Structures are given as structure tokens and as C-alpha cells.
Chain A
């Protein structure tokens, strides 16, 4: 299958610090890829390069849906079809839940207001919070806020969804509800790249698991391969440390 996201020789420096070292990764359409690795290994940096929230070194190349990711006009086109869910939700605090979901389609797609409303409500229904549509984000629990953030990303009908540790800021009892929503999206045709520390989740939904360490792509494979039979020593150590903790 054609590569929907094609990352070649991605390098990223923060000043003198080499955060991503020659990372290459291909993701095909509809595939679910989970990225794991120790803290500081560059997982967030990697997915933030995909929609260019981080600028990367000019020698690198990222192509999404046949559009090269670079500054300029095409960038908004890419961002419109690449949704992102952040660890800290980043909902718009001055807008209601419904308006959070409707803002981007209203501005970018310029669709009819009634249709947008219908669609936003059905998305909120899909993530199980249609009853809270008129509340403000701070009136919701963390788990609910993150589900709104997912609905907000879905409202642009993205072809790609990027998740950066979507459950790390949540109280443990709310992790499940958010993971369930993400699971329900997997294999619906949308391509997903999920940075996560939830190994059980990765094993369950990922088509492929990518292990990163020290800014490098270490290995990738089917979940069973990576979790039960990792080839690289660094992967073994990391998984052992997680299991024993």
C-alpha cells in the first residue's frame, strides 16, 4: 500500500541539541502506529514535526498524502487534514464545548452553520458528551475535556490523527474512557500515530509499534513482536523497566 505519511531522514536540532537523528518512518493509509520510548526520546518531537508544530532541519523530508510538509500555503492544507490531540487538551477556554468543536470547520471549511451544528453534536455524541455541549471546558472533568478535544480534531474530518500521550494528564479512573474513544476510531479508515505509555492499549490497537530512544528510531514491528520478542537490547531494557515498575 502507498505510504500515506512518509518521513525520510528526519533530523531536528534544538540549538545544539540533536533531538531527532535520521528518523525514517512510513505509515500507510488507515494504519495505526503507536510510538513508545523513554521520556526525552523524541516521541513528541517526532509527531509534532508531522504537522510542523516543530520546524525540522531542511535536509529532512516529510510527505503527508502526497503533500510535502513545508512552510507556506500548503501547510494549512496539511494541518486541515491532520488532526492532533494534545496531552494537555488545549481546549479553548473562552468557548463552549460545542463552539470548540465548531470553530475550525466554520472558519476553514466555511460550511453552513446548521449543518455544522448537527455534525458537531453528533461528534459529541460519538465521544459521549453531547449532554455537556453548552458547558465551558473548565466545567468538565479531564477525561471529558480530552474527549471534547478528540471531537474537535474529528470535526475537520482528518485523514490523519496524531495523539501525544492523550491520557498522561488524566486521573487513572479516566484513562479508560478516553482510550475507549481512541480505540473506536482505530481501523475506521483514519490513519493514526499515537505516542503512548499505555502498553496494554498499544498492544491491543496498534498495527505497528515503533520504539524510539535517544532521538533514534530503534525498531518497529507488530505489537506481539515488539512486546514479546524485541530484537534490540534497548527495547528489551525499556520494556523490562516498565514491567518491573
Chain B
């Protein structure tokens, strides 16, 4: 019974529930911002890497490798704690969103690039021969075909963004994890943390299942 009282204390959970819900709201809005913006940013990076002029291709290549190398937590701390020394100061939310977008964008860029490269050369040639503009070739011909290849890894990338939002608690952003630790010290009981863990899993579990479904579905469609 002691274990139940310590980790699954319904009374504590009830009292701290509003805090958890507000934390969940922050986590979800950070996720949405991070996922949407990193996809757009990633697509632009991929196009720059594939079709930009030489300096752009080079710079984008360096960008992608750099932001895939740096640990997200390190980047976040640099943005939030180091940049103010040069008078660049962001709110916790902005810092966290920025760090997520910079890193997840680099991963998304590689995913989009692979997707575009998977579209046969003949599709580009047919579009060019018809006189389509670059924009129309991408929008009407190439990207709709690349999407198939790109959806499973991109969904996976989004799952990672959602998970990584938890790192934002180190810059005092009131996300789900931060609010849960807050609630834990208020109540002097770890139940809110367990509650947060369960909420994370409940949200992410279906997404993880969706990713593997997508992966098998697209893999079999190839045949």
C-alpha cells in the first residue's frame, strides 16, 4: 500500500492535475510549432542543398551536418544561457522552439532530400520538356511523388520533436515535465511525475504504432 500511496496517490494527482494539464498544453503547442516549422525549414534546406548554387549547397551541407552533430540539450542551453551575454535574449518558449527547429529541420532536410532523389530522373525531364516552371515541377510532379517516401521518416522525426520538448524544462519552460517536477515538490510526492510519464506514453504510443504501420505499408507498396 505504501507504494501506491507514494507513486499513485490519487489525492495528490487530483490536486496537481490542473498544473499537469497546463504543462501538457505548453508541450503540445511547442510540439506543433516545432514540427510544422521544422518541416518547412527542412524542405527549404533540402531544395537549397539539391538545387542551390555552389556556395549555397556548401553552406546548407555544413548547416545540416553541424545541427545533426550538436546535442539538442547543449544547443538549447547555449541559446538560452549563452546568447544573453551578447544581448540576444529569448523567452524559454522561443529558445526551445528555436533549438528544436534548427535541429529537427536539419534531419527533415535529409529526409526530404532522400525523397526527392528517389523520384526518377525521367519525371524531372518530362516536366522540363513540357516547359513547366521549377515551382510547378516541384509542386505538381516531384513532391507528390516524394511524399510517399518521406512520410514514414518524417512522422518519426515528429515523434522525436514531441519527445525532445521535454528538454525545454531545463530552461524553465513550464512544459509537462517542468510542471510535473514543480507539482512533485509542492506535494512532496512523486505521483505527478508518474502521471506525466503516463501522459507522455499515452500520447506517443499511438504515434509510434502509426510510424511502424506506415513503414510496413510503404515498404510493401514498393513491391
Contact = CB atoms under 8 A, between A and B. Distances in A.
Interface of A: 51, 53, 76-77, 79-84, 86, 88, 90-94, 103-104, 107-108, 152-153, 156
Given A92-B141, A103-B140, A156 B125 contact: no
A104 B132 contact: yes
B133 A107 contact: yes
Nearest to B120: A90
Nearest to A91: B126
26 contacts: A51-B129, A76-B131, A77-B131, A79-B129, A79-B131, A80-B130, A80-B131, A82-B129, A83-B130, A84-B129, A86-B125, A86-B126, A88-B122, A90-B122, A90-B125, A90-B126, A92-B140, A103-B140, A104-B131, A104-B132, A108-B130, A108-B131, A108-B132, A108-B133, A108-B136, A153-B130
B130 A79 contact: yes
B128 A152 contact: no
Interface in B117-165: 120, 122-123, 125-126, 128-133, 136, 140-141, 144-145
Contacts of B145: 93-94
B131 to A, nearest CB: 3
Contacts of B125: 53, 86, 90
The 5 closest A-B pairs by CB, nearest first: A80-B131, A90-B122, A90-B126, A104-B130, A79-B131
B106 to A, nearest CB: 28
Contacts of A103: 130, 132, 140-141
